[in-house]
Amino acid sequence: MKNYIKTDEWSIIEEGFDPALNKISESIFSLGNGRMGQRANFEETYTGETLPGNYIAGVYYPDKTRVGWWKNGYPEYFAKVLNAANWIGINIRIDNETLDLNTCTVTNFRRVLNMREGILQRSFTGELKNGKQVQVNSLRFCSLADDEAGAIRYSIKALNFDGIISITPFIDGDVKNQDSNYDEKFWDEVQKETGHDTGFLTLKTKKTGFEVCTGMKVDLFLNGDKIKFISKSVEKKKYCGFDILVPVVINQTLEIYKYAANLSSENHPKEHLLKNCKNVIEKIALKGFDAMRKEQADAWAKKWEYGDIVIDGDVSAQQAIRFNIFQLNQTYTGQDARLNIGPKGFTGEKYGGSTYWDTEAYCVPFYLATADAQVTKNLLIYRYNHLAKAIENAAKLGFKNGAALYPMVTMNGEECHNEWEITFEEIHRNGAIAFAIFNYIRYTGDGAYLQEYGLEVLIAISRFWAQRITWSDNRRQYVMLGVTGPNEYENNVNNNWYTSKMANWCLGYTIEALSTVEKADSVIFKQLLSKVEFNYKEETNHWQNIIDHLYLPEDKEFGIFLQQDGYLDKEQTLVKDLAATDRPLNQKWSWDRILRSCYIKQADVLQGLYFFEDEFNIETLARNYNFYEPRTVHESSLSPCVHCILAAKLGHGDKAYEFYLRTARLDLDDYNNDTEDGCHITSMAGTWMSVVEGFAGMRIRNGTLTFSPFLPEKWISFAFNISFRGCVFNIKITRGSVIITNQSLTSAEVFVYNKCYDIGPNEMIEAPYGAPK
Amino acid sequence: MKNYIKTDEWSIIEEGFDPALNKISESIFSLGNGRMGQRANFEETYTGETLPGNYIAGVYYPDKTRVGWWKNGYPEYFAKVLNAANWIGINIRIDNETLDLNTCTVTNFRRVLNMREGILQRSFTGELKNGKQVQVNSLRFCSLADDEAGAIRYSIKALNFDGIISITPFIDGDVKNQDSNYDEKFWDEVQKETGHDTGFLTLKTKKTGFEVCTGMKVDLFLNGDKIKFISKSVEKKKYCGFDILVPVVINQTLEIYKYAANLSSENHPKEHLLKNCKNVIEKIALKGFDAMRKEQADAWAKKWEYGDIVIDGDVSAQQAIRFNIFQLNQTYTGQDARLNIGPKGFTGEKYGGSTYWDTEAYCVPFYLATADAQVTKNLLIYRYNHLAKAIENAAKLGFKNGAALYPMVTMNGEECHNEWEITFEEIHRNGAIAFAIFNYIRYTGDGAYLQEYGLEVLIAISRFWAQRITWSDNRRQYVMLGVTGPNEYENNVNNNWYTSKMANWCLGYTIEALSTVEKADSVIFKQLLSKVEFNYKEETNHWQNIIDHLYLPEDKEFGIFLQQDGYLDKEQTLVKDLAATDRPLNQKWSWDRILRSCYIKQADVLQGLYFFEDEFNIETLARNYNFYEPRTVHESSLSPCVHCILAAKLGHGDKAYEFYLRTARLDLDDYNNDTEDGCHITSMAGTWMSVVEGFAGMRIRNGTLTFSPFLPEKWISFAFNISFRGCVFNIKITRGSVIITNQSLTSAEVFVYNKCYDIGPNEMIEAPYGAPK
């Protein structure tokens, strides 16, 4: 846990340079625009500890799997997001000494991430070993308005000398992934060219053959006047740049404008990459830095208009929630159904930048409520497009007849994970993908999604469950053997309640969806069934039979759903009785000890109660919450949010707030000592959920927004915007009232504490705060 | 499955050279003497497919662990047997063309492993590209009489030319392990020197710092006359050798005698290694090849005198059983308690050459019956010497108070394995180590072993069980959660009957052993308890409480012990109904599918019934055998022997013979297509057990040898020697009678089909064949 980030409502601020914190800051101050992103590395040379990171969405490398003991069925490779060409680089030499924060004396260092406008600023005074002092101000962004483009303004003022500043703007593609399994480099050079003020480098990924052309153009200003310059090209392997010498006198300021673009063969024909990149570079350089910066601010203003949360009375919480929303919007913009949300976004390499069930379980609710429906729809279509691969994946594991098992971790639809207890057994992910379809339709009302895409996915998933669930002669019931639930501190268990419940729900929802589509369009319905060779009667009968006879373990004595067979055979101790020296368990205990214990990593039974809350009464929720939460160590960043929401529902406001705090500043305060690897992007959606579904108690019921808010004691008020079926609502919760403004042109019904309010266009209602007794 | 080895009672024979079989033959024709060993690589250059292998017992390298996903508690390294300096090498050039079976035309190739004398012979005619033809005969051995020494006689006859044969005898230490995790070389050079006819190379292992000095001396004979020669030294990195040019005329034969020695710092002070190696080389060169060869034949004759099995009427079975006995004796001679039995012995790298529970469960019975008691005692002392490490290992996993968990795989007592479901959970190995103590004392009558070594080990093991077993409030019984039984096709199961039964027995045996030692010597007893800080009353009370209330799952309906909780919830199908295309499961099915199935890799419940057979009546055995065997795929080479023994006991002679056949020629016929990696040394002990405990029904009951033989239909008779408490018995089973000869000087009681016979010194008894009805 660190505490060096200065609080501010709209900015993330670091003051003073501490090299030991640099990799953490590189993560926190990361930039992205959904198409590309980068860690907050320095433009100039830095020989201290750094994790260089530039990433291009959708461009990956299949790194050969590394395991100790191969298990049949393991994938051959792990698809990794690539550390791509560094396009921010500008080497600076002052009278032949390199400017390097690792070797010069640094004062007045300040790094600011302006979240309102999506801009990274940095300033410092450096004194080199040769005594020369410079004042540096840099400002850069990845353009949200033009997501192939980025720009930098880097200014150097000669504080105490006349001399030569030599600068080398460059693109360096000779980079590596830190997590390369066999210490390989993943890029080959295709082409490079250096002009007087431009450079273009095209690289191609090994094996996958993605090509990315990175271009740059440089303008120089001295004391505000554009200057001409002579440049000398510098070309090395996978590197292009040029040296420029600029004589300066004391107090003069040299400004370097570096315009850059990354174009990938995912969006351009390979043969036009270079040409198109040149066009983009020409266009943005012509547009100019200030115009680009204005576009950037405007684009971010729109994001905030939809998705902001305003907290009054707690600047630290305000900063934290905006940071979470900001990073989510940097990571995924929903314009491209081939892209998804890596657990670290563009802030690091870890977890390969691949897609997990985090997307469906945690991110979908965020994007549903803060963006156009198309954004979430693209997340769903991403899985639809991977259906054939999911069917292949299941076939590899012995499943037949078009059954689909979506991968635990994927880039292009193929499984990348290689731990048998996860890869093969943590199959509840299939359920989350079905649930996201349900959730999307529930939220948006876009029922047509079923016949367009959803039903096919649901059928394939249900076919999987129908084979994965087997009949036990012994129990005279269906059982689901050998699974790992969301609580990964149990492996290879039988009849995990969550997974079985999820499967059961999937089967039922698919039967319902079949009937919905049949009613909506019987021609399309028939085409669809014929496409997937669906034997309606036989398959749905079998599914119904499973629904009716699936074993869902319960314990009558405790009145709880049982996490899995045998859970109560464990020694029943509570987290509060664990010694501090034993925490976190995953660092202090051996794996078998964790597995044998009753301790729970993250919501498991409770995750099911969260998803299917309407099926259970409040007493059932309370019994299960009271049993499981005290056994839960919350050693996943995805755990607290679900508990926060349930605690809020159960009226445990303090506890809910406590859960909220656990993730709100997870990265800002480097809570788990791992922020240097990157930020926990997907868990940020959970923090958002904590506020909106937890504190504000937002739900969709029968196509209507409902709220049961509570206001954490420490706050004066909080407010947020919600995009719902074409309307935007602003909801503000104060100590006295719940104020809802309908910012759209149609009137809408909204429930507050189960009371219905009709809100006209651009009207506001004010409901009393607090649930009626 | 291959079928290229010619059958012969005493020899393994390969005729004709097939490069595709070379790596298999390199394994099968391996040599060893317990201290060092080697694959049957060629002396001369070979550029075809080969796995070079020279190994020095007890000299290992801790290779950095390679895993996909680190689990807390994993060991940092995997100790590997090292591919050591090649001391057999003799490069041959005929008029400047290298003799290489990969490039010349080979005829009359014949490779013979003379098992009676422990000698590897090879002969062939080679025609080089330059048209020169040579006849080569080589003969070599690792001396059993002098286990640091080896010798080679390599003769070349010029068949069709006058010319120059240039030879380069060398020692090459610039070798690698094929299974090196990070492609490292494990040896550094310490010293080398080349004399006129000698070479010495000392290498040191990285990290572990073992030093091995390898020496050689060469004599040359032309047409039977020793010749003088001029040599020119050749030194490279980790390599020493010398070139000799010998002019020959047609039909002359050049004989190269190469004497070699490997001395390790395990047995010599490092500073004397070179000097001592020179002494050994001087000594054996002086002794001469023929004298060494005679010693070798004599030493092997002694091994056969104790341990031979003679099968009449089936040459293939005869060859197979002798091959198994031969390899076991090559691998372990029992003279050094620091050594143990790697699953591949000196025949390959796989499984790291480390120690597994195979030793206690399968090898101990073999060495007990075919060698002096000290041999097995050394195997036991090996574990005694590792007790402190086993206690450390348990402490790493959270166990306290001197509890010991012996490693799954080890070289020096530290755990090397890194699969959580095995490393942390396949804990029944602890029981096998306790059982071996019991078995040793039962066989040898050496009760003093308990107070000398055994009790301390038993206490530490019982302390482990007492903590690993936990109380279940739910069941009101003790349970053992999260284990993997011998059937590794189930992972992380609860209440594996075998493991729990084993633990229960351990606790009881330790209580009994405490009382035995107390009675035998109360002073030593007190010292011992004080040494291990044993709280007699409290600890034994707790143990007894576990013994009395441990949950051992049974199914009343089937009348069987239940492999584990939930086993009957699986779909109950039988191996006979599996499609051939699904076999072997471990190659055809994904791991989760194997885990969910009811199929059993190797004896699990039945392993327990084998160990504790006297506790169960024949009907119980039959019910369990009839239930479990049809569900067993025998995909471990350790599986068939236990089933053979039980089938024999149940009177299923045909089935028993079928099981015997599955492992008897496992390597000779390359049954599993993996002999090229090395031979299955430890399973060879299982084959021996099949004959002696299975067919001959040998048991020790109340300190007496008992037999209930049956003779496989295909055989005319079989006979074997058994060493038992100072006596050697020869047992011969024919269709008509069981003939037992007491080859010793004291009379002894022996039971045949439960009838007691008293056999005087050097007397013979003849019992009728067949159990009385």
pLDDT on residue A466: 98
Say if the Cβ atoms of A590 and B72 lie within 8 Å: yes
From chain B, pick out residues whose CB is under 8 angstroms from the CB of A588.
72
Question: CB-based burial of residue B426 (10 Å sphere; 0-12 exposed, 13-18 middle, 19+ buried)?
Answer: buried
B208-253 pLDDT, tens digit per residue, is: 999 999 999 999 999 999 999 999 999 999 999 999 999 999 999 9
> How far apart, in whole angstroms, are the C-alpha atoms of residue A254 and residue B61?
59
**Chain B residue with minimum CA distance to A471:** B571
In this structure, what token pair is assigned to residue B154? 């390599």
B695-753 pLDDT, tens digit per residue, is: 999 999 999 999 999 999 999 999 999 999 989 999 999 999 999 999 999 999 999 99
Q: A656 Cβ partners below 8 Å, 6+ apart?
A: A644, A645, A647, A648, A690, A694, A695, A710, A712
From chain B, pick out residues whose CB is under 8 angstroms from the CB of A66.
66-68
Which DSSP string corresponds to B314-326? -HHHHHHHHHHHH
pLDDT on residue B182: 79
Q: Examine the pLDDT at A183 and tell me if it is beyond 90.
A: no
Query: Nearest C-alpha of chain A: how many angstroms from B534?
Result: 25
Residue to mutate among A588, A590, A635, with most B CBs inside 10 A, is: A590
Say if the Cβ atoms of A590 and B71 lie within 8 Å: yes
**Chain B residue with minimum CA distance to A595:** B482
**Residue B559 near residue B623 (C-beta atoms within 8 A):** yes
B86-134 pLDDT, tens digit per residue, is: 999 999 999 989 999 999 999 999 999 999 999 999 999 999 999 999 9
CA B193 to chain centre: 35
Say if the Cβ atoms of A420 and B482 lie within 8 Å: no
Total CB pairs under 8 A between chain A and B: 132
From chain B, pick out residues whose CB is under 8 angstroms from the CB of A589.
72-73, 398
Say if the Cβ atoms of B424 and A572 lie within 8 Å: no
pLDDT band at B79, cuts 50/70/90? confident
pLDDT on residue B184: 85
Question: CB-based burial of residue A654 (10 Å sphere; 0-12 exposed, 13-18 middle, 19+ buried)?
Answer: exposed
B376-396 pLDDT, tens digit per residue, is: 999 999 999 999 999 999 999
pLDDT band at A634, cuts 50/70/90? very high
**Which of A397, A475, A569 is nearest residue B481 as measured by Cβ atoms?**
A569
**Chain A residue with minimum CA distance to B571:** A472
Q: Examine the pLDDT at B773 and tell me if it is beyond 80.
A: no
Q: Examine the pLDDT at A275 and tell me if it is beyond 90.
A: yes
> How far apart, in whole angstroms, are the C-alpha atoms of residue A466 and residue A384?
20
Query: Nearest C-alpha of chain B: how many angstroms from A582?
Result: 10
Sign of the Cα pseudo-torsion (B2, B3, B8, B14, in order) = negative
B146-188 pLDDT, tens digit per residue, is: 999 999 999 999 999 999 999 999 999 999 998 888 788 899 9
Which DSSP string corresponds to A105-126? EEEEEEEEEETTTTEEEEEEEE
From chain A, pick out residues whose CB is under 8 angstroms from the CB of B71.
590-591
Say if the Cβ atoms of A68 and B71 lie within 8 Å: no
Q: What is the mean pLDDT of residues B580-607?
A: 96
Catalytic residues of B: 488
Q: What is the mean pLDDT of residues A566-575?
A: 97
Query: Nearest C-alpha of chain B: how many angstroms from A69?
Result: 7
Helix, strand or coil for residue A357?
coil
Say if the Cβ atoms of A491 and B494 lie within 8 Å: no
pLDDT on residue B202: 98
> How far apart, in whole angstroms, are the C-alpha atoms of residue B308 and residue B290?
25
From chain A, pick out residues whose CB is under 8 angstroms from the CB of B584.
none
**Which of A570, A586, A588 is nearest residue B481 as measured by Cβ atoms?**
A570
Query: Nearest C-alpha of chain B: how many angstroms from A60?
Result: 19
Query: Nearest C-alpha of chain B: how many angstroms from A73?
Result: 5
From chain B, pick out residues whose CB is under 8 angstroms from the CB of A72.
586-591, 594
Say if the Cβ atoms of A71 and B591 lie within 8 Å: yes
Residue to mutate among B592, B593, B635, with most A CBs inside 10 A, is: B592
- The chain-wide mean pLDDT, for chain A, equals 96
From chain A, pick out residues whose CB is under 8 angstroms from the CB of B420.
591-592
Crossing angle of helices A455-468 and A522-531, rounded to 10°: 50
Query: Quick one: which of B433, B581, B448, B553 has its CA closest to B490?
Result: B553
Say if the Cβ atoms of B592 and A482 lie within 8 Å: yes
B650-666 in b/e burial notation, b at 16+ Cβ within 10 A?
bebbebbbebbbbbbbb
pLDDT on residue A184: 85
Say if the Cβ atoms of A591 and B473 lie within 8 Å: no
CA neighbours closer than 13 Å in the CB half-sphere of residue B141: 26
Question: In what helix (H) or strand (E) does residue A544 lie, and over which residues does it extend?
Answer: helix A536-549
**Chain B residue with minimum CA distance to A483:** B592
Q: What sections of A550-697 are H helices per DSSP?
A: 585-588, 591-596, 605-611, 618-628, 639-649, 653-664, 681-689
Beta bridge partners of B704: B701
Query: Nearest C-alpha of chain B: how many angstroms from A35?
Result: 29
**Chain B residue with minimum CA distance to A571:** B472
Q: B492 Cβ partners below 8 Å, 6+ apart?
A: A421, A491, A492, A493, A595, B421, B425, B482, B483, B484
**Which of B470, B565, B595 is nearest residue A492 as measured by Cβ atoms?**
B595
CA B532 to chain centre: 33
Q: Which parts of B186-339 are beta strand (E)?
A: 187-194, 198-205, 211-222, 225-227, 231-236, 239-248, 253-264, 309-312
> How far apart, in whole angstroms, are the C-alpha atoms of residue A122 and residue A115?
14
Query: Nearest C-alpha of chain A: how many angstroms from B479?
Result: 8
> How far apart, in whole angstroms, are the C-alpha atoms of residue B217 and residue B260?
7
Say if the Cβ atoms of A491 and B492 lie within 8 Å: yes
Amino acid at residue number A489: Y
Beta bridge partners of B739: B732, B766
> How far apart, in whole angstroms, are the C-alpha atoms of residue A95 and residue A161?
10
pLDDT on residue A526: 97
Q: What is the mean pLDDT of residues A727-738?
A: 96
Query: Nearest C-alpha of chain B: how many angstroms from A128?
Result: 42
- The chain-wide mean pLDDT, for chain B, equals 96
From chain B, pick out residues whose CB is under 8 angstroms from the CB of A180.
none
pLDDT on residue A529: 96
Pairing label, strands A11-15, A105-114: antiparallel
**Which of A397, A570, A587 is nearest residue B72 as measured by Cβ atoms?**
A587
A114-134 pLDDT, tens digit per residue, is: 999 999 999 999 999 999 999
**Which of B398, B471, B479 is nearest residue A589 as measured by Cβ atoms?**
B398
> How far apart, in whole angstroms, are the C-alpha atoms of residue A401 and residue A397?
13
**Which of A72, A419, A494 is nearest residue B68 as measured by Cβ atoms?**
A419
Which DSSP string corresponds to A150-176? EEEEEEEEESS--EEEEEEEEEE----
Catalytic residues of A: 488
Residue to mutate among B399, B569, B583, with most A CBs inside 10 A, is: B569
pLDDT band at B771, cuts 50/70/90? confident
Q: B566 Cβ partners below 8 Å, 6+ apart?
A: A481, A494, A565, A566, B493, B494
Query: Nearest C-alpha of chain A: how many angstroms from B539?
Result: 20
From chain A, pick out residues whose CB is under 8 angstroms from the CB of B464.
none
Q: Among residues of chain B, what percentage have pLDDT more than 90?
A: 92
pLDDT band at A613, cuts 50/70/90? very high
Residue to mutate among A596, A597, A599, A601, with most B CBs inside 10 A, is: A596
**Which of B68, B568, B593 is nearest residue A65 as measured by Cβ atoms?**
B68
CA neighbours closer than 13 Å in the CB half-sphere of residue A268: 20
**Chain A residue with minimum CA distance to B396:** A590
**Which of B472, B586, B594 is nearest residue A569 as measured by Cβ atoms?**
B472
From chain A, pick out residues whose CB is under 8 angstroms from the CB of B579.
none
CA neighbours closer than 13 Å in the CB half-sphere of residue A5: 31
Residue to mutate among A490, A564, A591, A599, with most B CBs inside 10 A, is: A591
Pairing label, strands B704-707, B748-752: parallel
Residue to mutate among B392, B591, B597, B599, with most A CBs inside 10 A, is: B591
pLDDT on residue A671: 85
Q: Examine the pLDDT at B350 and tell me if it is beyond 90.
A: no
**Residue B48 near residue B101 (C-beta atoms within 8 A):** yes
